Structure 1
């Protein structure tokens, strides 16, 4: 094995445009694998990192956090993977030994090992990427907008080699978060009425998973008519233009309120409004990530009606478990991934994808290496 040169999208400082640069990707250490990336989605959270509204654990940052590829080499002690395996890069990997994991709550693992992995640090406290000889930090511990990346073996979840990597790259974040929000946190039940506010990449998958779970009515809310059209294709039964009177429109559809409302934008004022759209005993799930330091002001009386306000850290997923479920849905024809991809482009053209974040007519742009 040897250090590999890799073209990668590097953010030197929030507020500045990220640029394609050459980096060094080091050999995998014990318990690690190096992955030759096949494809990576461009997620809104990457845009938040560029804007400076998402916390970064070190600079410079190699962007990208939803990707898939092929294992190029393995470090000492790796037993679950071998060279040539097709993998999805996972973000939230439970440690398996902390109090939460021991109680069967692996999705809520909050151990130092998990935090270290998400910070892009290996077990020895260093990174496996270098920019001009200095450490570079893979975003969310994976840095998938790079030709190569090195991750812990637990962060590389093997999938069957016949599955399309340019579609399954999206399962690393947008798909698994949306599906997890609906099935793990909201726990959509047959016959439920669901409202989804924000119908981009994650929202579209909340809609898909709610349909799979048997929701009888799925109301999509967005400001872009193109996103509402997209929502209908994924299973929305009703659409509401967010530029109008949303509460009145929801009441016209479901006078008693929705069973579950998903706020997928990350806007605290929208979250407060979303809570009031839930029925007595209903739920509001805050899926979108608000800016660091943002505060939430709401009518506390809304909680008196036994309404629940729930957070959503990445869909409360255990990657190996939830990706297996996603593969089953995909093979059965229930979960559509190809339709999420509106554009495939080269790494050098990734600026187009960033410029359209939040305003495109489709769910995701995918960089294909």
Structure 2
């Protein structure tokens, strides 16, 4: 059992307080995961144009303050009740298009657009209780696409955590947490390459 399990963690995060304004490195509080949630220690991040687009908030409904970020890799710090597919210490990727495992899309071989955990840019809270797991001096800070990886620790729905091999270099695979959802996943589901095929995927 991790020594921080069940406790609030203080850590640093890059907080977007306003649309288009520079992110501010803040010391924030990260609550422990609730039932069906996982708290991750983020070790590597990458920057995607999507983060910049929603930070700029032009032509969208702005939701601030917020912690952006969705291309990342790290390790599982603690898990909430009912989570069995990962455990503390596992290498993992947070993914913004998760899988509940129960809906018709999750049970289909032709779609990864989960009815519960598909990307939602307007939702800044956790599904279980409609609250955030981030705060600063009591002020809630909103989540971004269920991942919010511009924080040293983040809390995500368990269905948005993919366990990976401990041998995988986390500094290299962090981009996969976005690239697989958007490009490679579609290639596998739509093109359906046969085992041992050699394929090239462009435009990730």
Residues 140 and 101 (structure 1), Cα distance of their counterparts in 2 relative to 1, 3 Å cut: same
Query: What is the CA–CA distance in structure 1 between the aligned matches of 2:187 and 2:83, rounded to whole Å?
Result: 33
User: Within 5 A, what are the aligned runs for 1:75-114?
Assistant: 75-102=80-107, 104-111=109-116, 114=118
Q: Which residue of 2 aligns with 1:121?
A: 125
1:160 maps to 165
Taking only aligned residues, the RMSD between alpha carbons, in angstroms, comes to: 2.9
Question: In 2, distance between residues paired with 1:146 and 1:214?
Answer: 33
| Alignment partner, residue 71 of structure 2 | 66
- Residue 97 of structure 1 and its aligned partner are, at CA, apart by 3.1
1:45–1:54 CA contact under 8 A, matched in 2:
no
Q: Offset of 1:81 from its aligned partner?
A: 1.3
TM-score, normalised with respect to structure 2? 0.82
- C-alpha change, 1:39 and 1:156, in structure 2 (3 Å) is same
Higher relative contact order (CA 8 A, sep 6+): 2
SS in 1 for 2:39: strand
1:175–1:108 CA distance, 2 compared to 1 (3 A): closer
Distance in 1 (CA, whole Å) between partners of 2:105 and 2:23 is: 37
Point out the structure with max Rg over C-alpha. 1
> Which whole-Å CA distance do the structure 1 matches of 2:28 and 2:134 have between them?
7
Which deviates more from structure 2 when the two are superposed, residues 158-167 or residues 93-102?
A: 93-102
Distance 1:118 1:158, change over 3 A: farther
- CA distance in 1: counterparts of 2:103 and 2:59, whole angstroms: 27
Within the alignment, does 1:48 sit opposite 2:56 as a pair?
A: no
* More deviation, 169-178/84-93: 169-178
Distance of 1:54 and 1:212 partners within structure 2: 40
Show the 5 A alignment for 1:201-280: 212-213=198-199
Pairwise CA distance, 1:90: 0.9
CA distance in 2, matches of 1:48, 1:214: 27
CA drift at 1:174: 3.1
Counterpart Cα distance in 1 of 2:108 and 2:79: 31
Distance 1:13 1:212, change over 3 A: farther
1:188-229 per-position Cα deviation (integer Å, ceiling 9, x unaligned): 989xxxxxxxxxxxxxxxxxxxx94269xxxxxxxxxxxxxx
Change (3 A) 1:158 1:55: farther
SS for the counterpart of 2:75 is strand
CA distance in 1, matches of 2:121, 2:35: 14
d(CA) in 2 for partners of 1:77, 1:13: 36
Q: Is the 8 A contact 1:59 1:136 kept in 2?
A: yes
Unaligned runs of at least 5 residues, structure 2: 1-5
Structure 2 CA distance for partners of 1:26 and 1:161, relative to 1, 3 Å? same
CA distance in 1, matches of 2:101, 2:60: 26
The counterpart of 1:133, out of the listed 138, 145, 169, is 138
Aligned with residue 35 of structure 2, among 16, 21, 30 = 30
Q: Which runs of 5+ in 1 are unaligned?
A: 191-210, 216-261, 265-286, 288-369
